[in-house]
Amino acid sequence: MVTDPAYAAALCLGAAAWLHAERGRARRRGRLLFAGDATVPLDSPERLDASLIGRRIGRPGWRTVRLRKEWLCPVAALVPALLGESLLPLLAGAAAVPLVARRLRARARAGERERRADAVIELCAAVAAELRAGSQPVQALRFAARSTGALGRDEAAVVAAARFGGDVPEALRGAARADGAEGLAGLGACWQVAVDGGAGLAAGLDRLEAALRERREQRERLRAQLSGAWSTVVLLALLPVAGLAMGAALGADPLRVLFHTPAGLACLVVGAGLEAAGLWWAGRIVRAGEEP
């Protein structure tokens, strides 16, 4: 059985080095693929042939496998598994993969939502600036949409509606259904008021931009105020790890007790359940405070 902590640490370091080397080889393969080799045209099917890429790097038929962040959970579980001589940490690490993946996807969606909201603010500012420079509303909207990318997949529909006399406000309201692009509904309302009532579109966009910026700043202030609460949640999550480290420092061998004794297994199950419930409840309270 493996009992040497140095051997466990060396094994983990070796796994991390192998993963880093694989990422480096993937980057080199990508650079070779898109390097613009004069002997192979960019539009040639041979350019995308995996066997050709393999010959360039000396590994025929090698396929690139991208490591996702959630798969680091079983890798991190190797340390307690080797130190405690048990498969339970590996099983827990494997079970945590879908949960961590869902959390990472939610964080990616939140980041995309914020980037889209910022792009909408830039779109309003760009359209107003183009209008003041003397451009027509259709030209201003087309230029701002291309430069900011705020319309996303709906850019073609909105630009076509603006260019060929379609219903631009309706197209903007359709684009506003995307997560984070709610400000486009205000842009559509300003456009409709300017067309129907003859009001100045640039002035309306200035007020809309100011309102959207104020909303973003308010969200950032609220997030800054809640950063202390999130720090408390993280601290609570790390307390069991600190307790295990203190027990190991005192020579109590807590991992062996937890993984190889009935009382330890019972404490492990109850403690893990209470830890998960506490983190979920604390996170729910903080997320409720983040809601507008």
> pTM of the full predicted structure?
0.66
Asked whether the beta carbons of 216 and 182 are under 8 A apart, the reply is no
DSSP 154: G
pLDDT above 60 for 20: no
pLDDT above 80 for 270: yes
Integer-rounded Cα radius of gyration of the chain: 28
Calculate mean pLDDT across residues 261-280: 89
pLDDT above 70 for 119: yes
Calculate mean pLDDT across residues 251-266: 88
pLDDT digits (tens, 9 = 90+) for 180-226: 888 899 998 988 888 776 568 888 899 999 999 999 998 888 888 88
- Which tokens is 86 given? 């048990």
Q: Any alpha helices (H) in the chain, and if so which ranges? A: 5-33, 50-57, 72-84, 88-132, 137-148, 155-163, 168-175, 183-197, 201-225, 227-249, 254-260, 262-290
Picking from 136, 141, 221, the residue whose alpha carbon sits closest to that of residue 184 is 141
64/90: higher pLDDT: 90
pLDDT above 60 for 14: no
pLDDT category at 43 given cuts 50, 70, 90 is: very low
pLDDT digits (tens, 9 = 90+) for 93-113: 888 888 889 988 988 998 898
Picking from 133, 130, 113, the residue whose alpha carbon sits closest to that of residue 183 is 113
- Taking each helix axis from N to C end, the angle separating 183-197 and 88-132, rounded to the nearest 10 degrees, works out to 20
